[in-house]
Chain A
Amino acid sequence: MICWVLYDIQDNKARRNVAKYCKQAGLYRVQYSCFLGTLNGHEKDTLELQIEEEIDEEVDKVYIFPMNKSELQSCILMGQAFDKKLVSDEVRALFL
């Protein structure tokens, strides 16, 4: 499934760690506090547990939104937006 992860986290270290976990799970950073990418159920659960450990439930806000492919296709992107193919794992070969 395609997942959005959005957060507001006060503590700098916790925020850095959450960003790191999102990247390790294979999500792409689309804005400062906003990640997007394809996860399977297991990867989503792992990420949820990792984030739970980091945040302060009294002050921080984290959202993990699943989205299906057709909804992604009907998204409107403007400006320097992300690559739909990349976040939905349709890029088969990456050249660097």
Chain B
Amino acid sequence: MHLYLNTYGTYLHIKDQLFEVRVPESEGSKQYQKHHVAAQKVRTIVMTTSAALSTDAIKLAMAHHIDIVFLERGGQPFGRVWHSKPGSTTRIRKRQLEASLSETGLRWVKNWTLRKMQNQADFLFDLLRHRPHLKASFTEKRERIAELQKSVQDLEGDRTADVADSLRGLEGSAGRLYFAGLSEAIPSAWAFKGRSSRPAKDPFNAFLNYAYGILYSRVEKALMVAGLDPYTGFLHRDDYNQLSFVYDFIEPYRIYADTVVFRLFSGKKVNQQHTDELSVGYSLNKEGKQLLVAAFTDYLDEDTIRVLNRNQTRANAMQAEAHGFANSLLEKDDDYETEDY
């Protein structure tokens, strides 16, 4: 299970080789509830700010390959504790660096971007089934996304950097069409104007940002386990101006977050109690996070889909695709087959 420590003043330490989580009964209270969780049952420990952690707890987590993720209030992961070994051979990282500077990288980036755009168009198409009144508007949006996809396919260059700006522009245009569509389709009380983050300008974006935060952390782990370097990006830069591979690889999976968040809103599961209004925007509060995380974890870890000829959870499929990508990098390596071990 994924253990979410979400209460102000929580302390995670070890007792009898079990994780003991000490949670104050109310904010600032000296009365505590204690929960014991066996290390074998835990896959991830997610800690929000204002919680404490003992070094022995980190040690137990490392011994059981549990990663500890630290989240900002908005759900953006800002750090993690992971054992210091690369998940696999360093050869993968070398090939990844080469690919990031070659035409191979561009081919993959186009592939991920096209899949994302296709997911967006497909999702709008799905929404039409129960919303016939949006037919004219959505059909137009889908056609325009298809044109943008065509333009992405037609981009030519020797490496990603040659076409990065045009690619980002095309991707952004598709995103704007898609989110305008989502806003038309959710109950009118929740309608929103485009994407916004840090802070979100509306509850829908607050949910979406938190969901992307979870997904970001999941993708980062999948890449590390597959032996890829999350920081050697092909197209995207993160806020600290480093190229970040997580932002490239996440593209086809963003639809998972979109779907779960959209369903929560269209299924009237969200109400005013789930978000806090800030002076400049909205943020998810404890109830909101709980609602979202429960729904999103079920969607990723419980539901199965058919991928690579197997019924598997979306989380497993994501991991399998990360391994697949790593393997495809190795196959480009001519020495690899012939080398003696």
Interface string of B29-45 (1 = CB under 8 A from A): 00000011111110000
Are A96 and B5 in contact (CB-based, < 8 A)? Answer: yes
Binds B, one of A1-9, A21-29, A55-63, A64-72: A21-29
Interface string of A60-96 (1 = CB under 8 A from B): 0000000000000000000000000000011111111
Chain B residues with Cβ below 8 Å from A45 are: none
A25 and B18 alpha carbons, distance in the complex (Å): 10
Are B16 and A94 in contact (CB-based, < 8 A)? Answer: no
Are B4 and A25 in contact (CB-based, < 8 A)? Answer: no
Q: How far is the CB of B102 from chain A (nearest CB, A)?
A: 40
Residue of A nearest to B44 (CB): A93
Count of interface residues, chain A, beta-carbon cutoff 8 Å: 15
Q: How far is the CB of A31 from chain B (nearest CB, A)?
A: 16
Residue of B nearest to A43 (CB): B40
Are B3 and A96 in contact (CB-based, < 8 A)? Answer: yes
Q: How far is the CB of A48 from chain B (nearest CB, A)?
A: 16
Q: Which of A23, A26, A43, A94 has the most CB of B within 10 A?
A: A94
Q: Does B98 contact A (CB under 8 A)?
A: no
A92 and B156 alpha carbons, distance in the complex (Å): 44
Binds A, one of B69-77, B194-202, B290-298, B323-331: B290-298
Chain A residues with Cβ below 8 Å from B38 are: 23-27
Chain A residues with Cβ below 8 Å from B23 are: 96
A25 and B41 alpha carbons, distance in the complex (Å): 9
Are B17 and A94 in contact (CB-based, < 8 A)? Answer: no
A24 and B41 alpha carbons, distance in the complex (Å): 10
A73 and B313 alpha carbons, distance in the complex (Å): 23
Residue of A nearest to B6 (CB): A95
Residue of A nearest to B313 (CB): A92
Q: How far is the CB of A3 from chain B (nearest CB, A)?
A: 13
Q: Which of A20, A24, A92 has the most CB of B within 10 A?
A: A92
A89 and B36 alpha carbons, distance in the complex (Å): 15
Given contacts A23-B38, A25-B40, A26-B40, contact A93 B17 (CB under 8 A): no
A-B contact count (CB 8 A): 54
Choose among A24, A89, A91 the residue that contacts B17 (Cβ–Cβ < 8 A). Answer: A24
Choose among B41, B293, B302 the residue that contacts A95 (Cβ–Cβ < 8 A). Answer: B293
Q: How far is the CB of A79 from chain B (nearest CB, A)?
A: 21
Are A95 and B18 in contact (CB-based, < 8 A)? Answer: no
Chain A residues with Cβ below 8 Å from B35 are: 96
Are B290 and A95 in contact (CB-based, < 8 A)? Answer: yes
Q: Does B10 contact A (CB under 8 A)?
A: yes
Q: Does B131 contact A (CB under 8 A)?
A: no
A43 and B40 alpha carbons, distance in the complex (Å): 10
Chain B residues with Cβ below 8 Å from A93 are: 1-4, 293-294, 297
- The residues of B with any CB-CB pair to A shorter than 8 Å are 1-7, 10, 16-18, 21, 23, 35-41, 290, 293-294, 297-298, 301-302
- The residues of A with any CB-CB pair to B shorter than 8 Å are 20, 23-27, 43, 89-96
